[in-house]
Amino acid sequence: MERISRVVGPAATNVHILADERSREAIAIDTAIPSLAWVADELAARSWTLKLIVSTHGHWDHIGDNAAVAAATGAEIAVHPLDRESLLHPAPLFAPFDIPASVPAVELAEGGEVRFGSIRLRVLHTPGHTPGSVCLQSVDDGLLFSGDTLFAGGWGRIDLPGGSGPAIVESLARLAELEPAVAVLPGHGPATTIARERPWLEMVRSTGRLPF
């Protein structure tokens, strides 16, 4: 897998482009505003064809350029059905600019796969930050794109509409079961590993509550 990333927008969102080196097929994850120019330039420079835009959840700082990138590339948009309405009718939630609506054509379901070229990403439904939050796991490459479910040293806030403490506890407990060597690429902030986060993740799993 070839992978490039950029920090984008006022919420410092990590936007990722992943590609299969043989087929040159690619996907983009969490196309925040303003990522269109960067995505288009990188695709052109590498002769990649964007097949899919994946939203790990429906908050404005992860979906803002969905419609623009889709229009420019012809790529379809994918999201879990429980967050579909958040793309169709975006809630600004303190956004400093308007968030265009986007129309998902692909549903991300628990246990499903995102496929491009020979690459397969397993969909993990990890609610709590939002009802439809997902993580994408590349078993072959030892990577987890965790959206706002898991950060280095923490988790996504649960005090926004649709947030749930009990749900995110279950989601974090599930991630604690992944292999320690798995590299975690969150929606904001630095990369980490399951091994690095495991002490507090295990506490969440054993106690059934967030540690602080």
Total of domains in the chain? 1
Over residues 198-211, the mean pLDDT reads 96
State pLDDT tens for residues 81-110: 999 999 999 988 889 999 999 999 999 999
Residue 34's domain comprises 2-207
- Report yes or no on whether pTM surpasses 0.95: yes
Please give the Cα distance from 174 to 196 (Å, whole number).
Answer: 16
115 lies in a domain? yes
Residue 41: the pLDDT is 98
Q: Within a domain: residue 212?
A: no
Q: Is residue 136 part of a domain?
A: yes
Cβ 191 vs Cβ 197: under 8 Å? no
Q: Tell me how crowded residue 159 is: count the other CB atoms within 10 A of its CB.
A: 6
Domain-embedded: residue 156: yes
Instruction: Beginning with the edge strand found earlier in the chain, give each strand of the sheet holding 143-147 in spatial order.
Output: 113-116, 119-125, 134-138, 143-147, 183-186, 192-193
pLDDT tens digit sequence for 147-200: 999 999 999 999 999 999 999 999 999 999 999 999 999 999 999 999 999 999
For residue 13, the SS3 value is strand
What does pLDDT average to over the chain? 97
Domain assignment present for 113: yes
Q: Is the pLDDT of residue 34 over 90?
A: yes
Host H or E run for residue 17? strand 13-19
92 conformational bin, left if phi > 0, alpha if psi -120 to 50, beta if neither? alpha
167 within some domain = yes
* DSSP secondary structure letters along 56-107: SS--HHHHTTHHHHHHHH--EEEE-GGGHHHHHS---TT-SS--------EE
For residues 131 and 168, what is the distance between their CA atoms, to the nearest angstrom? 10
Read off the pLDDT of residues 110-149 as tens digits, 9 standing for 90 and up: 999 999 999 999 999 999 999 999 999 999 999 999 999 9
CATH value at residue 63: 3.60.15.10
